[in-house]
């Protein structure tokens, strides 16, 4: 035999075994149901075989129909002692049971689909109604018609027997179908969680109904020998019918509640599992991101350290020839043999070298700041002389650019405790930018010291900053240019300034509009201290002769040639 034929034979054998198991199960449960049959009849008040039939079709499809047919035919023939006279009754009863299972399965598929999980309340009620009371009308009607045709039942007995057949099949479906699904349905992981909550209560209620109907049957028919001659028949018939209907309603409500509770538990459990899984995934993703960030941070720190080392080494190599160029340029400028044009060219060389040296210093500063190697060294120094020296330099620069330069002082202490070098960088970068980007009008610097806080405001009437550039002016190596101004530089001045202000514990902000000038606000903690005797490091050649005038805002420094003013400023 070929492999295809062998596979075909194996499939046929498996189907035969399946149908044999279904038929035997149907037969045995039918025998057990005879405990609660109506006297002088084979009609049982509970028919668990109907549940076996429906579950078989749900689990195995149409291939289970022969087993149902064989099982129903066998149990009916057993009940009538295999009397060939009632062969039609056996056959039609079996066909009715098979049709009931088939119709119930079809109705459930049309209403609920192929995947039956019985989790939602609406799906549970539909499943039990369609598979139980509705489809079971077929088997009850077909069986009663066969019995009546074979003169096995009188016309007066039809209503009660139909009711018993219908309710017995419906109760069998309602109780046994969910229980068997919890044992054999797929996915098994899903139904396994409901085995204890469905199978055990279903077994309990089946035993309860068996005892209840057995007792009720004996009670109802204990005095009846010939039902047609009993005066109490109609009353007992109604009582028994009422018991059947009450039992059916109770079984339906009990199983519905059972499935609803287990379904709600599963929904909550599913939600909890989904949330837990989502949370675990989030935690794992976050840990993964943290590991990646840690690796990236380590690489960045290593790269930054290598960059800092490189810049530190290369700066030394660059500064040595630059210092030589600057030194020899200054020596050449002092020689009388050079004419004016030669000295201009020497000035250009010196300016270029100075500019290159500033770029190197800026790059080194930003590198140190990024690597966290900048240390703030606080020590007392003469603040008034510091400001006088610095403002004098910028006044000269402003005069070279033909713009006005005013400085407004208020509450300036004689001595402060801070890092003089870093303060000088902050002042220089802010004021130098204001002068460089102003071609008309002027620059006003307001300096106020109050409550150990230094308020520095630098206002200019220059080109201003467009709104779209506000967020990037503090970024490193970024220069905001306009059609009027294109400044040469590294683009690090404001970046270094902001970082230094943060290191000193201060803050910086600004307001600016294009072609309307800019205004930078700086707040830096600056502690005043007791005056000390500092050596006068200022040379007379670098001093500005200024006139100090009182105004509502403090002291205004303007260019006037008077030497007495310096004494007031530094000594008073």
pLDDT, tens digit, 9 for 90 and up, residues 502-534: 988 999 999 988 888 899 999 999 998 887 665
Q: What is the pLDDT of residue 9?
A: 84
Helix, strand, coil fractions of the chain, as percent rounded to 5: 65, 10, 25
**272 pLDDT higher than 90:** no
Separation in Å, CA 37 to CA 75, 217, 246: 14, 8, 17
Pick the residue with more confidence: 82 or 232? 82
Pick the residue with more confidence: 99 or 396? 99
Q: What is the mean pLDDT of residues 406-423?
A: 90
Q: Which of 279-283, 347-351, 482-486 is least confident?
A: 482-486
Pick the residue with more confidence: 395 or 44? 395
Q: What is the pLDDT of residue 537?
A: 44
Q: What is the pTM of this model?
A: 0.50
- Are 97 and 49 a contacting pair, CB within 8 Å? yes
Confidence of residue 566 (pLDDT cuts 50, 70, 90): very low
Q: What is the pLDDT of residue 254?
A: 87
Q: What is the pLDDT of residue 11?
A: 84
Q: What is the pLDDT of residue 523?
A: 93
Confidence of residue 547 (pLDDT cuts 50, 70, 90): very low
Q: Which residues pair with 518 in a beta bridge?
A: 460, 512
Cβ–Cβ contacts within 10 Å for residue 504, how many?
20
Share of the chain above pLDDT 90, in %: 21
Q: Are strands 554-559 and 546-551 parallel, antiparallel or unpaired?
A: antiparallel
**pLDDT tens across 25-79, in order?**
999 988 888 776 765 455 777 888 999 999 999 989 899 999 999 999 999 899 8
Q: Which residues pair with 549 in a beta bridge?
A: 556
* Cα end-to-end distance, the chain, whole Å: 121
Q: Which of 16-30, 164-178, 180-194 is least confident?
A: 180-194
- Over the chain, what is the mean pLDDT? 79
- Rg of the chain on CA atoms, in Å: 51
Cα separation, 202 vs 503, whole angstroms: 76
Token duo for residue 512: 């600016």
Separation in Å, CA 29 to CA 195, 335, 428, 502: 20, 127, 101, 87
Stated as kind and residue range, the H or E segment containing 46 is: none
**447 pLDDT higher than 60:** yes
Q: What is the mean pLDDT of residues 143-159?
A: 85
Q: What is the pLDDT of residue 181?
A: 85
Q: Is 428 exposed, middle or buried (0-12, 13-18, 19+ CB in 10 A)?
A: middle
Q: Which residue has the tokens 């690796």?
A: 295
Single out the residue of 524, 532, 538 nearest to residue 387, CA to CA: 538
Q: Which of 235-244, 292-301, 458-467, 500-509 is least confident?
A: 235-244
**213 pLDDT higher than 80:** no
**460 pLDDT higher than 90:** yes
Q: Which of 128-132, 133-137, 336-340 is least confident?
A: 336-340
**448 pLDDT higher than 90:** yes
Cα separation, 291 vs 485, whole angstroms: 46
Q: What is the pLDDT of residue 187?
A: 66
Token duo for residue 142: 């077909």
Q: Which residues contact 405 (CB under 8 A, 6 or more apart)?
A: 394, 395, 398, 399, 435, 442, 443, 445
Report the sign of the C-alpha dihedral through residues 296, 297, 298, 304, in that order. Answer: positive
Q: Are strands 415-418 and 527-528 parallel, antiparallel or unpaired?
A: antiparallel
Token duo for residue 107: 């109705």
Q: Which residues contact 240 (CB under 8 A, 6 or more apart)?
A: 160, 216, 217, 220
Cα separation, 48 vs 136, whole angstroms: 12
The per-type count for the chain, helices as H runs and strands as E runs, is 15, 10
Q: Which residues contact 49 (CB under 8 A, 6 or more apart)?
A: 25, 26, 27, 29, 30, 33, 71, 72, 75, 97, 172
Cα separation, 278 vs 195, whole angstroms: 28
Single out the residue of 262, 220, 210 nearest to residue 242, CA to CA: 220
């Amino acid at each position: 035999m070929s492999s295809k034929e062998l596979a075909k034979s194996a499939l046929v054998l498996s189907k035969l075994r399946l149908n044999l198991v279904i038929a035997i199960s149907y037969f045995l449960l039918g025998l057990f149901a005879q405990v609660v049959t109506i006297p002088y009849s084979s009609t049982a008040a509970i028919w668990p075989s109907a549940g076996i039939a429906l579950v078989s079709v749900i689990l195995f499809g149409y291939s289970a129909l022969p087993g149902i047919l064989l099982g129903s035919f066998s149990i009916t023939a057993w009940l009538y002692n295999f009397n060939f006279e009632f062969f039609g009754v056996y056959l039609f009863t079996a066909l009715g049971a098979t049709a009931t299972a088939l119709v119930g399965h079809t109705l459930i598929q049309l209403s609920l689909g192929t995947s039956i999980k019985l989790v939602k309340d609406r799906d549970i009620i539909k499943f039990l109604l369609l598979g139980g009371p509705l489809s079971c009308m077929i088997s009850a009607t077909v069986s009663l018609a066969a019995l009546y045709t074979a003169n096995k039942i009188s016309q007066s007995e039809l209503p009660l027997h139909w009711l018993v057949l219908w309710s017995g099949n419906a109760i069998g479906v309602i109780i046994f179908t969910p229980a068997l699904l919890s044992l054999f349905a797929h996915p098994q992981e899903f139904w396994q969680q409901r085995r204890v909550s469905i199978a055990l209560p279903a077994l309990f209620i089946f035993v309860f109904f068996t005892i209840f109907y057995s007792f009720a049957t004996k009670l109802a028919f204990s005095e009846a020998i010939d039902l047609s001659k009993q005066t109490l028949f109609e009353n007992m018939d109604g009582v028994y019918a009422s018991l059947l209907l009450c039992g059916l309603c109770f079984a339906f409500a009990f199983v519905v509640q059972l499935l609803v509770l287990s379904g709600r538990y599963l929904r909550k459990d599913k939600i909890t599992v989904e949330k837990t899984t989502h949370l675990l995934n989030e935690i794992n993703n976050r840990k993964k991101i943290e590991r990646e960030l840690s690796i990236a941070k380590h690489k960045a720190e290593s790269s930054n350290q290598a960059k800092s080392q490189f810049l530190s080494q290369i700066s030394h190599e660059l500064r040595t020839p630059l210092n030589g160029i600057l030194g020899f340029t200054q020596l050449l400028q002092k020689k009388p043999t050079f004419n004016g044009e030669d000295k201009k060219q020497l000035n250009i060389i010196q300016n270029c070298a100075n500019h290159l040296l500033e770029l190197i210093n800026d790059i080194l500063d930003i590198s140190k700041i990024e690597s966290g190697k900048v240390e703030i060294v606080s020590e007392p120094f003469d603040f008034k002389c510091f400001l006088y020296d610095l403002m004098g330099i910028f006044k000269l620069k402003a005069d070279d650019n033909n713009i006005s330069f005013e400085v407004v002082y208020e509450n300036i202490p004689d001595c402060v405790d801070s890092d003089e070098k870093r303060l000088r960088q902050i002042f220089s970068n802010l004021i130098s930018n204001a002068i460089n980007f102003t071609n008309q009008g002027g620059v006003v610097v307001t300096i106020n010291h109050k409550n150990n806080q230094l308020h520095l405001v630098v206002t200019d009437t220059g080109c201003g900053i467009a709104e779209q550039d506000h967020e990037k002016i503090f970024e490193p190596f970024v220069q905001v240019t306009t059609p009027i101004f294109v400044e040469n530089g590294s683009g690090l001045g404001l970046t270094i300034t902001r970082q230094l202000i943060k290191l000193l514990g201060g803050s910086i902000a600004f307001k600016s509009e294009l072609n309307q000038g800019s205004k930078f606000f700086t707040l830096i903690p600056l502690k005043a201290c007791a005056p000390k005797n500092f050596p006068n490091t200022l040379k007379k050649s670098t001093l500005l002769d200024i006139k100090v005038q009182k105004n509502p805002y403090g002291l205004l420094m303007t260019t006037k040639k008077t030497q007495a003013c310096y004494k007031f400023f530094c000594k008073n």
